[in-house]
Chain A
Amino acid sequence: MSLKSVPRPLSALVLGFVFLLGATSVAAQDAEVKIVIREHKFEPEEVSVPAGKKIKLVIDNQDATAEEFESYELNREKVVPPKSQISIFVGPLKPGRYPFFGDFHKDTAKGVLIAK
């Protein structure tokens, strides 16, 4: 029963949804990666992650102001309040480069996730 690619007809979609809802918590071992925001910059700016796995990104904002972690390629956005930490799930990703940025400090806060 490989439901990886989602079939188009509505009935099949609903069926697949029900099956995968049960499978979501399995998620073997998700990879976890930490990214720090300091002085409106990401550290590290290049992050290597395994391809084909769900990844938990932990963003630690050490600045005194909020940031918004955003990535068009990952289709993600999340506010990171000052002096706090958030997590965000992405993937499983195909190998490639996935740029991200801080929407509140676009000039300096830039980084890229590299899935291998």
Chain B
Amino acid sequence: MAGISVLVFREVLEAALIVSVVFAATRGVPGRGRWIGAGILAGVLGAIGVALSAGLIADAAAGMGQELFNASVLFAAVVMIAWHAIWMATHGRELAMQMQTIGSEVSVGQRPLAALLVVVALAVLREGSEIVLFLFAQAAGGSGVIDVAGGLALGIAGGAATGLALYLGLLRIPIRHFFTATNWLLLLLAAGMASQAARFLVQADLLPSLGPRLWDTSTVLSDHSVLGQTLHALIGYDARPAGVQVLFYIVTGALIAIGMRVWGKPGRGAPRAA
């Protein structure tokens, strides 16, 4: 059961961290719980569908279907996050000021929640499909129902607890800096996803690596420690990135930052209002 729960935890962790950032970024929006819940549910159903068609996906595109699929899912999430971050840069300051004066229960509708629903769904789908495949393999390999179900429950509980801890930590950010902070987090999240997508395309030989290993910091902080994996999910930390991953990271981050500045009426800095 321990082995199963560890793998499940590792997969759930990444999705849970993304959900936490999204949950924080939608603070003050009525009905956001339903939106995010719907995103998670869609992600779980999608994960089962992806796991069931793993063979089909793997065989597609001359054996590179998995990489193309993963890269597409990541790029789709990047676009959705960019949209939301830029939208928030234009409205976040007013939101923060409203929430300061009227309290956090203020109703601020018409935010692009659908974009973030997609981000949540895609994160859950990506990590979830690996869990489903793994549990199939475990069940077929003779692990008992109690081991599989117990490991799954423990892993999900652990991952969800970590996500909750991040969310509660984010809530401690003062409200007037809050949306600036979550917006920058979303920017880094998107940059990290673009870097991961680039890695998949290098793996499929569809992109040049520009140096297969630009640096190696695995002895300082392994990607596969809990901290390393947390940073991987949140800001795209990679202990051994290919050059092209770094390029995608920088370009994506720069494009979103430029978008936030160009379209963001009050600018991208913290609100100056006292």
**A and B are interacting partners:** yes
Asked if A16 and B210 sit within 8 Å, CB to CB, the answer is yes
Name which residue of chain B comes closest to A68, CB basis: B130
Q: Is the CB of B203 within 8 A of A88?
A: yes
Interface string of A73-97 (1 = CB under 8 A from B): 1011011111011111111110000
- Which one of B133, B207, B211 contacts A79 once the chains associate, using CB atoms below 8 Å? B133
Report the nearest A residue to B64, measured CB to CB: A87
**In the complex the two chains form, is A87's CB within 8 Å of B63's CB?**
yes
Q: Does residue A13 face the partner (Cβ distance < 8 Å to B)?
A: yes
Pick from A20, A72, A76: contact of B210, CB below 8 A.
Answer: A20
Are B247 and A72 in contact, CB atoms less than 8 angstroms apart? no
One of B107-115, B183-191, B238-246 at the interface: B238-246
Interface check A64, CB cutoff 8 A: yes
Given contacts A17-B244, A72-B223, A89-B205, contact A6 B140 (CB under 8 A): no
CA distance A72 to B216 in the complex (A): 11
Contact B208 A104 (CB under 8 A): no
- How far does the alpha carbon of A82 sit from the alpha carbon of B224 in the complex, in Å? 26
Chain B neighbourhood of A84, CB < 8 A: 55, 58-59
Query: What count of chain A residues pass the 8 Å CB interface test?
Result: 46
A75 & B55 in contact (Cβ 8 Å cutoff): no
CB distance from A85 to the nearest CB of B (A): 7
Q: In the complex, are the beta carbons of B212 and A6 less than 8 A apart?
A: no
Question: How long is the Cα–Cα vector from A66 to B254 in the complex, in angstroms?
Answer: 39
B269 to chain A, nearest CB (A): 22
| Distance between Cα atoms of A21 and B205 in the complex (Å) | 11
Q: Is the CB of B136 within 8 A of A13?
A: no
A24 at the interface (CB under 8 A from B): yes
* A17, B212: Cβ atoms closer than 8 Å: no
Measured in the bound complex, the distance between the Cα atoms of B67 and A103 in whole Å is 18
In the complex, what distance in Å separates the CA atom of A85 from the CA atom of B246? 30
Nearest first, the 6 A-B pairs at minimum CB distance are A65-B137, A6-B243, A24-B208, A81-B55, A89-B205, A20-B208
A selection of 30 A-B contacts at a CB cut-off of 8 Å is A3-B210, A6-B211, A10-B250, A14-B251, A21-B208, A24-B207, A30-B205, A40-B141, A64-B140, A66-B136, A67-B137, A72-B218, A72-B222, A72-B224, A75-B213, A75-B238, A75-B241, A75-B242, A76-B203, A78-B67, A79-B54, A79-B66, A80-B58, A81-B54, A84-B58, A84-B59, A87-B63, A89-B204, A103-B134, A105-B141
Residues of chain B whose beta carbon lies under 8 Å from any beta carbon of chain A: 3, 7, 54-55, 58-59, 63-64, 66-67, 130, 133-134, 136-138, 140-141, 199, 202-205, 207-208, 210-214, 218, 222-224, 238-244, 246-247, 250-251, 254
